[in-house]
Amino acid sequence: MSSVETAERKVNTSEMERKDNTSEVVDEQVEDSTSAEPDNVETNNYHGLHASAILVTLNTVAIGQAVGGSSQSIWLSQAVAILTTVLSPPCAQAADYWGRKWILVISALFNFAGAMITARCTSMGMAIAGQVICGVGFGSQPLMYAVVSEVVPRRARAAAQASLMCSLAIAGSIGLPVSAYLGQHYNEGFRIYYYITAGIISASGICMALLYNPLPTPLQKTLSTRQKLAQLDWIGYGLLVSGLVLFGMALTWSQNPYSWGDAHILATFILGIILFICLIVYETRFQVTGMFHHGLFQKDWNVAISLWCIFVEGMTLFASNEFFAQEVMTIWEPRPMWASMRFTITFLTQLAASMAVAVYATMTKDIRRPIFVAFFFFMLFNILMATLKVGSTLNTWGYPVFLGIGLSLCLTCLITMAQVSAPPALISIISGLMISTRSLGGSIMLPVCKALLSSRLSANLAPQVAAKVIPLGFSEQDVALFIDGLTANNATMLASIPGATPEVIAAATQGYLEANLLSYRYVWVLAACLAFIAMISAFFLRNPGNALNMHVDAPLEEDSDESPPA
């Protein structure tokens, strides 16, 4: 017996000594999955890739799709990010007790309802409420990463995750320009987009209800409803929800509208940190089988490093999603349609790169090197974005290629790495932790970058514009009027300012663009530094090797001929 197995048995034994019979059943399932099948055993229960498995893999993506992109309000983004972070672990844990299917189907109903509410909204509050309901549906997002992995052989898991990335890439490359086109050419065109999304989500939910019929999980069959409810990590969920909401509110309020010294921010921020500390202590010292199941971390450091890396990936990706198009529209291309087309390059590249990494990982069983390469490309993209100049409009068509490569390699291989490194019985829980951690990174990065950008613009705009127009004889007292007119893109207002000749307006515009470019640079530098740290962390991952065998963890049919592994 290996030292890893011995350690696992000690943890499970001590747990069974202080748990009731229900907990013993749960622990036995995890112990069986960790000890019965070492990495070097080529267990094979693969019967061929059935059409139902292919359709499940291709259709799960729409269940987890967020709607929209028409509003730049941070609360619309934050509602989805926070709720994904909060609900992913409980949904993932509940899926082991009640099965995956109906959680996915019910989540589709929430996404459909949220999309319809947003499509028919009459106020920003109603729009945010729609996104909140969508965020509830997003709690099942980890399950699509778990489902596509457990219905295929482990060796094909990278390919399964890559197929999910391809589906996301296709959705993004179509949805982004369609959303921009509708918003640019139709009054309230975003409503059409949300109606279209609601239709797609409803169709995918029906497809999942009809086509996805997995075998019941062992815990699903052996525990009663009362026992299942008792197994959920209610205290951990409460600490996570309250801590994250308070922490997220504090970050979102920073410089919007309160300063960091304001009681609104200090009180929520400090209380959120205290609740996070309580969560860490509780999950470390008092809860062994909760959403941070200790069995995840017994084998090696792969799961812990993967969680850290996907946290950083979430931070860098959310920054790119939020600020790339925003910067392009501010400096180079004011038309939403053409600004969005530049970011669509990311999705097209992701499509090609996902297929390439699927072939590489399946043939070589290497998922460690692609993670390192992914963060190198993330770092390269952010460095290049930080070096842009006012005349660099063509560069913004090419740089998203590096982001697309990083995104496809990183998410495909990180999810696979974490799932293969965790016990098979905990594949749903680790998927929930990975997606929750990713969304946590995004929910932190968005308000931090918003506050950083806002503070730098406040510091840079007046000096940059003044430096351009005052040497031309323009009054320093009217510089603020120029900034207001340029920010509003109001040519009439600019022309009405005393002394605003065409030469002065051109000079002020140049200063305004340079100030914005300098301010956005801080966002990209921060993201590049984070990507570099994650790239170094990827060195310490251990390639799973022979764990990528032909075993199927959740086959879609009974295997009557297979004998249990020795």
More confident residue, 39 or 440: 440
Between CA 220 and CA 11, with CA 85 as vertex, the angle to 5 degrees is: 55
Q: Quote helix, strand, coil % in the chain, to nearest 5.
A: 80, 0, 20
Mean pLDDT of 451-463: 83
Torsion (CA) 416, 417, 418, 424 in degrees, nearest 10: 70
Q: Which two tokens stand for residue 354?
A: 């996902």
Model confidence at 82: pLDDT above 90: no
Contact 494, 500 (CB under 8 A): yes
Q: In whole angstroms, give the CA distance from residue 517 to residue 530.
A: 20
* Residue 238 φ/ψ, nearest 5 degrees: -60, -45
Is the pTM for the entire model greater than 0.85? no
Mean pLDDT of 71-86: 69
Per-residue pLDDT, 48: 44
Range from 5-9, 106-110, 349-353, 521-525 carrying the lowest mean pLDDT: 5-9
Mean pLDDT of 251-264: 72
Model confidence at 162: pLDDT above 60: yes
Percent with pLDDT over 70 in the chain: 82
Range from 53-62, 122-131, 482-491 carrying the lowest mean pLDDT: 53-62
Mean pLDDT of 34-61: 43
**Per-residue confidence at 525, pLDDT binned at 50, 70, 90?**
very high
Buried b (16+ CB within 10 A) or exposed e, 509-529: bebbbbbbbebbbbbbebbbe
Number of Cα atoms under 13 Å in the Cβ half of residue 336: 17
Q: In whole angstroms, give the CA distance from residue 273 to residue 89.
A: 19
Q: In whole angstroms, give the CA distance from residue 463 to residue 468.
A: 9
Model confidence at 290: pLDDT above 60: yes
Alpha-carbon radius of gyration of the chain: 25
Longest distance between any two alpha carbons in the chain, whole Å: 89
Per-residue pLDDT, 333: 80
Contact 339, 180 (CB under 8 A): yes
Alpha-carbon separation of residue 134 from 64, 72, 83, 248, 550 (angstroms): 9, 17, 9, 18, 36
Q: Which residues contact 343 (CB under 8 A, 6 or more apart)?
A: 176, 324, 325, 328, 400
Q: In whole angstroms, give the CA distance from residue 499 to residue 512.
A: 18
Mean pLDDT of 448-467: 83
Q: Which two tokens stand for residue 55?
A: 């359709």
Mean pLDDT of 282-291: 82
Q: Which two tokens stand for residue 207?
A: 């497809």
Q: In whole angstroms, give the CA distance from residue 554 to residue 152.
A: 8
**Per-residue confidence at 529, pLDDT binned at 50, 70, 90?**
very high
Range from 19-23, 112-116, 326-330, 472-476 carrying the lowest mean pLDDT: 19-23
pLDDT in tens, 370-412: 999 999 999 999 999 999 888 888 888 999 999 999 998 988 8
Inter-axis angle of helices 502-537 and 427-469, nearest 10 = 150
Q: In whole angstroms, give the CA distance from residue 478 to residue 512.
A: 14
Contact 233, 211 (CB under 8 A): no
Q: Which two tokens stand for residue 107?
A: 């989540």
CA-nearest of 42, 37, 150 to 426 is 150
Contact 56, 212 (CB under 8 A): yes
